[in-house]
Amino acid sequence: MLVFYFLIFGQIFQLYGLDVSNNKYLTVRATILTVFATTILYIFTPYFSPVLPSNRLQIFYFFLLSFIPILLWRFIYISLIFSPKYFKSIVFVGNSERIKKLLTQVYNDSYHDVSAYLSDKEIKGINGFIDISKTTIASILADNSITEVVVSKRDLSEEVVNRLKKELIVLFEQGVNIVSYETFYENVNVRIPREYLDHNFYRHINFSKNNSNNFYLFGLRFVDILLSVIGALCFLCVIPLIFIGNVMANRGPLFYTQLRVGENGKVFRIFKLRSMIKDAEKGGAVWAKKDDTRITAFGKFLRRTRLDEMPQFFNIIKGDMSLIGPRPERPEFVKDLEAKIPFYAIRHVIRPGLTGWAQVNYPYANTIEEQETKLRYDLYYIKERSAFLDFKIFIKTFTTVLYFKGQ
């Protein structure tokens, strides 16, 4: 029970996040929050954990006995294991304009080691350029301990491509891991690359086997109903306080409903707590945006704490939604997005969710370009859908709420 609590809170407070693991201040903060939450919940869990000690000071001792060795271990991890010599050593191969953005992203993060890049010209601010027309990949690997070669053949000359084919076969035979640019992009960014959204989309985007797995679907629906009933009961407990806050700082109706597009394009009515001024859309449907002046002071609180979404537990019980899936959009917006973004309708093949992969990985989207990026997160979820990914989203949702991230 103690280990279970620790691992869950470690994920919620990002103790194992790579960005946190490279920063001592964030590591101390995450360790304190994780151990504190674990101690409190463990001490007050009936039956499974030990009885409450008669000397309350023993709770503090218990906290220290957990906190000190874990913090020491995290510092050892930072100084010894989280070290460049243990990072994945990568070589990029491709046209400079094609690989520039992803190469810059990987080069500037703290857990990849870009040994070199073979391209047509040097990319400003990135060391390790080698002219692709004057050398071979094998010669680079001979002088470096390379673990992975990332290859993009697009926009390279036919002569270079033909030479690469022969080299890559030999390297693969030698046990060198070779991945395409698109696959590496997907692994790093946990969303599908834009290049997948073309007439050959079926080569890269397939439904997860779990989309037709009856056991998975039954389990998902069971968990949806169970957690939604619990969530609805919790909502009913706090609704008096929300009602008082609404009367004082958000005068007007407490609830409102809105049409949204659900599974297979079916329109349903979603339940929410009102967070905007009355008649906020009297001139027509408008995208909500960051620091939207239509949002009331109390509405900002509701949105930041996600309390405005709690009535949707009743939508989940009805079967209109699931706990996890793409967020449902309004019919007016969907019509516009389907006209401007290819394959946008694909996200409607599963039930929309209260939370989703796009929501826990990407902030508020109010432009077509940002909506297209969120779509690629949703399509990644549809492609990789599984119980483990659902659990990961569930845990990351707590992190998103606690740190006021995402939409």
**Tokens coding 147:** 């673990």
pLDDT at 132: 86
Q: Which of 125, 155, 189 is where one domain is finished?
A: 189
Residue 296 falls inside a structural domain: yes
Q: 85: pLDDT confidence band, cut at 50, 70 and 90? A: low
Mean pLDDT of all residues in 139-163: 80
**Over the stretch 280-336, which tens digit does the pLDDT of each residue have?**
676 666 777 666 778 888 888 888 888 999 999 999 999 999 999 999 999 999 999
Q: What CATH number corresponds to the domain at position 105?
A: 3.40.50
pLDDT at 285: 67
**Over the stretch 363-395, which tens digit does the pLDDT of each residue have?**
777 788 889 999 999 999 999 999 999 999 999
Determine the Cα–Cα distance for residues 76 and 31; give it in Å rounded to an integer: 14
The number of distinct structural domains making up the chain is 3
**Tokens coding 5:** 């609590």
148 plus 241 within the same structural domain: no
Residue 258 falls inside a structural domain: yes
pLDDT at 325: 95
Mean pLDDT of all residues in 65-88: 81
- Bridge partners (DSSP) of residue 322 are 353
* Amino acid letter for position 302: L
**Over the stretch 20-62, which tens digit does the pLDDT of each residue have?**
877 888 899 999 999 999 999 998 887 777 777 778 888 899 9
Q: DSSP string spanning 299-346? A: HHHHHHTTGGGTTHHHHHHHTS-EEESPPP--HHHHHHHHHHSTTGGG
Determine the Cα–Cα distance for residues 45 and 52; give it in Å rounded to an integer: 10
Torsion of CA 294, 298, 301, 303, to 10 degrees: -40
Residue 96 falls inside a structural domain: yes
Residue 261 pLDDT more than 90? yes
Give the residue numbers spanning the domain of 278: 209-403
173 plus 234 within the same structural domain: no
Residue 407 pLDDT more than 60? no
Nearest to 90 by CA among 125, 17, 140: 140
**Tokens coding 104:** 């810059």
Q: Which residue has the tokens 């194992």?
A: 16
DSSP state of 349: G
- 201 versus 219: the higher-pLDDT residue is 219
Determine the Cα–Cα distance for residues 41 and 62; give it in Å rounded to an integer: 13
291 plus 364 within the same structural domain: yes
Residue 344 pLDDT more than 70? yes
313 plus 333 within the same structural domain: yes
Round the average pLDDT of the chain to a whole number and report it. 87
| H or E stretch at 129 | strand 129-131
160 plus 222 within the same structural domain: no
Tell me the three state secondary structure of residue 174.
coil
Q: Which of 82, 116, 147 is where one domain is finished?
A: 82
Least confident interval from 81-85, 150-154, 202-206, 365-369: 81-85
230 plus 320 within the same structural domain: yes
Mean pLDDT of all residues in 71-100: 82
Do β-strands 129-131 and 148-151 pair in parallel, antiparallel, or remain unpaired?
unpaired
Mean pLDDT of all residues in 110-131: 87
335 plus 254 within the same structural domain: yes
156 plus 247 within the same structural domain: no
pLDDT at 162: 84
**Rounded to 5 degrees, what are φ and ψ at 62?**
-60, -40
pLDDT at 259: 94
65 plus 115 within the same structural domain: no
Instruction: Count Cβ atoms below 10 Å from residue 96 Cβ, excluding itself.
Output: 19
Q: Which of 158, 189, 220 is where one domain is finished?
A: 189
269 plus 232 within the same structural domain: yes
Nearest to 146 by CA among 74, 211, 90: 90
Least confident interval from 76-90, 121-135, 219-233: 76-90
Torsion of CA 11, 14, 18, 22, to 10 degrees: -140
- 170 versus 82: the higher-pLDDT residue is 170
pLDDT at 380: 95
Percent of the chain with pLDDT over 90: 47
pLDDT at 305: 86
